Structure 1
Amino acid sequence: MANIKGTVRPGFEQVRDEFAAVADGSAQLAAYHRGEQVVDLWTGEDIDGDSLIGAYSASKGAAHLTVALLVQDGVLDLDQRVSHYWPEFAVEGKQDVTLRDLLAHRAGLVGSDEGFSRAELADDRIVAERLARQRPFWRPGTAFGYHALVIGALSGEVVLRATGRTLQENFADRISKPYTVDFHLGLPAELEPRFVATQPMVLTPERQLPLPAANSLQGIAFNRQHPAGPEVWELPNLPEVRRLGSASFGGVASARGLARMYAAAISPLDGESPMLKPEIAAEFAQIHSIGRDVVLGEQKAFGIGFHATGERYPELGQGSFGHSGAGGQQAFADPRNGIAYGYTRRRIPFPAAAAPENESLIRALYSALRAVESRP
């Protein structure tokens, strides 16, 4: 059983017990209930509660909270054509793609024919410029597939064209700084000492991952066709990725930061009103794409820029939204229950995705919540 550090609010002790039972190496866990932190735990000799770990695709949650704020402000319109903001996008059959379709992974623009080098993939502006010229890999709107390494560059270019500032700058000024969220799309040099590198997954002869063909749809989506392309697991460990903060995978955060970001989105926090109006949170959480993901070949459900997280975890209320990461991360907001959750770990799980222990940790969190709320 793991040696657990940190605190829980009275009534949430079972979450600490479950974390001790299921933690696989170094990990962090945080949760809020109606704007109050109720769980703040970590384990491992090499990390503490302030350690920063690569967020992988949990970065997409930060990116699309930023987009949601701009929609709330009226700066962006989900039903406007992408080319209205970004004229160069209107080629190769993409002229009618709306921002809504793009963010619901329906644009068919999962990568480029030639792929990206390590330096190119780290730079959202280079990725966006290349994809503006790219022919979609399916007719936009006819199917959906996870734009794993590029969706943040695409939505980020729309944000840049609409506001004159990068998505990363908008995130820092609208979310990270005002709400004191320990999540960084572009890690400042002075915070580098807090960064803890992700460790690769443990592979054995019985645990091997079949790699997609380089020029298959999945291979293109995960940049397998470029000879100098990095492995997905190592991305946040690359200094240029952390420095530039790719909005698809380059964020760096603690579990505290993940949970606090979603708490700020849906709950009063430190005297501030919720970041998102209920109708905006509901629209971004609403399922827009569900069924067979043509990239992953699996059943998936997406809202606007977010996972429809309640489709995976039955304890969650309808309208929950968030985003997991390949490093084992899970983070979400559950507006109906007032819950915000953040989990990260140092070693990549097998397979790379939201770590399996999230299932029992989430069950324990909601069990504790029901017990607390049932007390007279």
Structure 2
Amino acid sequence: MIVLDLKVDNFYAFKDFHVNFSYPKKIVGSYIESEHLEGRSNFRYKKVNIIMGANATGKTTLGSMFMDIFNLIDKKNYSYLLDSICDKKKSATFTIEIASDTNKMYRVHCVIAAKKQLEYKYTAEDLSIHVDVVDILTNDSYEICARKLDEMADYKRKTSFQDELDKIEQLYWLFESPLDFYDEYSVPGKDSLFLNILDKVMRALDPAIKSVTKVPNIDAAYAITINNMKIILQNGVKLDTQYLSSGTLAGIGVSRVLYSIMRGKNKFYYCDEKFSYIHSEIEKAILAVMIEKIRPNEQLFFTTHNTEILEMNLPKHSFLFMKKSQYDDESYIECISASSLLKRNTDSLKKAVENDLFGTAPSTELIYEIEELA
């Protein structure tokens, strides 16, 4: 499952928001392998998406929007979207384009009508969903398939939204966000690979951790040995967190993502700011492993504030910068691809960010005004 394009209006803080995850020109000698659909070398997509931006610019919200859409498609339940509507007095829309392993490209167009009155409760009649699909032929590019979908678009069809969503194949995704900082964790069992990943990540994050071992005779339970104490990490059981730092705890979620990528458990991965408490060198190393291990027809989204990642040997189109602008009483979120402004191979991405070419640097004026307070 590959996300190729997303348009959103009136969900969360998104107004007339648009971001595209394809790229037109083949990159020679790219560090990222197979940045196209398997068997469709002209159908190029951004396999790795590094999303950067100041606070409150929509990095986490973008992941939430993806998750709402995926849950709608998977569970055929529109309630996932209702709480995400920003202004219920107006209609809310999204259009998403997805490519599948079976070489099909889907376009899902959804409209939720404006509330008729404040106390009105939404019904299925307020939801309009249309799904169009085309086969991706051997020599097709994303642009060719998008034009085919343009030609067949007919948003006046009258069918149930469940019937429309049934056209789409099974989706597989994994989200890890800073909101996943729970006392209870979901961890796999009976797989030595997860144990080995967890052991190496946790020991890298905290030298005081001597080992991570499997708890005998208990499924999905691991013992973290630190300073001669054993902390038990068990699936669905409250974890004693007082002896582990915030960065070390984040390592549990990071290990889940690494494990899922290395086992090919999912197709779409959204790893959102799991490294706020982790050293930048370890973050770069873990990201490098994720990129190395992600498979064909898979896609990684990775949000970060770590500007050292700009120096990694990645294509410029892998970097997306989110910004929020204020116009009168309205705020707008936009997503800028680095490759849209930096056209030459010699252009320095880090210098562009340092010079705020993308307009994403946070405002510090109000902070310095504190100096003037009595």
Alignment TM-score > 0.5, same fold? no
| Structure number having the greater strand percentage | 2
| Structure number having the greater helix percentage | 1
Query: Under a length normalisation based on structure 1, what TM-score does the superposition of the two structures give?
Result: 0.28
Greater relative CO, 1 or 2 (CA 8 Å, sep 6+): 1
Query: Under a length normalisation based on structure 2, what TM-score does the superposition of the two structures give?
Result: 0.28
